[in-house]
Structure 1
Amino acid sequence: MRKIMENWFESTLWSTRLFILLPVIFSMLAAIALFVIASYDIYEVILYTLHVFSSHLHPENFHEKVVGIIISAVDLYLIAVVMLLFSFGLYELFISKIDAAERSEGSKILQIHSLDELKDKLAKVIVMVLVVSFFKRVLHTTYSNPLEMLYFAGAILALALGLYFLHKGGNHQ
């Protein structure tokens, strides 16, 4: 009787891993939604740019507006990639290897073999999201004195060093 209870409990415990399908599915849907939203933003920028060129106008802050929207779209794309990596990683770690990915001759970036590997890949993409967000904010910042420019240069140096060490320590997938 004890062995039967133990087998039943272990089987039930093992089956609870299937609840991971919820974050897998919703992360994938979130990624798709972000890809669509970012693509729509880019589409709107293209239409706006075509309108400006066809009407021979040059609105004030045209370049800043266009670049700002494009940087925001890139930011959304990167966040969507984080969601995809998260989704693929959880599935591979808790449910099953993705057979199509194993057979694929394409990039192996979406294959995850350990929780540490998933965290490392997510951290790298999140750092890139932060870098893009930093430059989006910098685009709309005005500098009133030389000390602010020095802080800006220091921030860029810190980002460059961070990216250098992040790239140096990784396995470059």
Structure 2
Amino acid sequence: MLEKLFENGLWKSRFVVILAVIFGFLGAVILFLVASVDIIGVAKFVITNVLNGTHPEHFHEDIVAGIIGAVDLYLIAVVMLIFSFGIYELFISKIDAACNEENENCNTILAIHSLDQLKDKIAKVIIMVLIVNYFQRVLHTKYETPLELLYFALAITALAVGLYFLGKVGKK
């Protein structure tokens, strides 16, 4: 009886991960809102400068950097969503709303069946976040020597090769 009571309590303790699900989802919503406010800020900047007829130095770079920064936040928000959905499905319950009731087709975008699958999905999105972050930083970098341009080209090549192999992971 003590063993059954202990095992039952141990099994029910998995519900503590609901905190990670709730706060992970809340973090995702906050990041989506912040990124959207950033996009609105870029739009105001563009509209203000266009209406005033001004064209500040680094105008295009500032616009692209602002949008890329927002994309970076959106991607991190997606990581948080994938984490929340995955943890919920692994520890609590399958998400019934993701399945079509008529023919039982389930949306597989956020379907997680193992911890390794969750790690793989999160890792892919994190790699995309790093690439977007790299692109954002490159916009404001000054290249003064041919060697620096060569390093830049090599970095782009390495990113392309990495993305190619990342696309091959998990496919047969």
Scaled to the shorter chain, the TM-score interval is over 0.9
- Name the counterpart of 1:126: 126
Name the stretch that deviates more: 103-112 or 87-96. 103-112
What SS does structure 2 have at the residue aligned with 1:133?
A: helix
- Name the counterpart of 1:36: 33
Q: Distance in 2 between matches of 1:21 and 1:81?
A: 18
Shift of 1:171: 4.1
Deviations 1:75-107 (A, max 9, x none): 000000000000000000000000001237684
Q: Distance in 2 between matches of 1:127 and 1:140?
A: 21
- Name the counterpart of 1:27: 24
Correspondences of 1:52-67 after superposition (within 5 Å): 52-67=49-64
Segments of 5+ residues of structure 1 without an aligned counterpart are none
- Name the counterpart of 2:112: 112
1:12 equivalenced with 2:12 (yes/no): no
One-letter identity of the residue aligned with 1:56: G
Shift of 1:170: 3.1
Shift of 1:24: 0.5
Aligned residues: 169
Q: Distance in 2 between matches of 1:170 and 1:155?
A: 25
Seq. identity, %: 59
TM-align CA RMSD: 1.4
What SS does structure 1 have at the residue aligned with 2:161?
A: helix
- Name the counterpart of 2:67: 70
One-letter identity of the residue aligned with 1:18: F
**TM-score normalized with structure 2 length:** 0.94
* Residues 109 and 41 of structure 1, relative CA distance in 2, 3 Å threshold: same
- Name the counterpart of 2:146: 146
Moved over 6 A (4+): none
Q: Distance in 2 between matches of 1:33 and 1:171?
A: 33
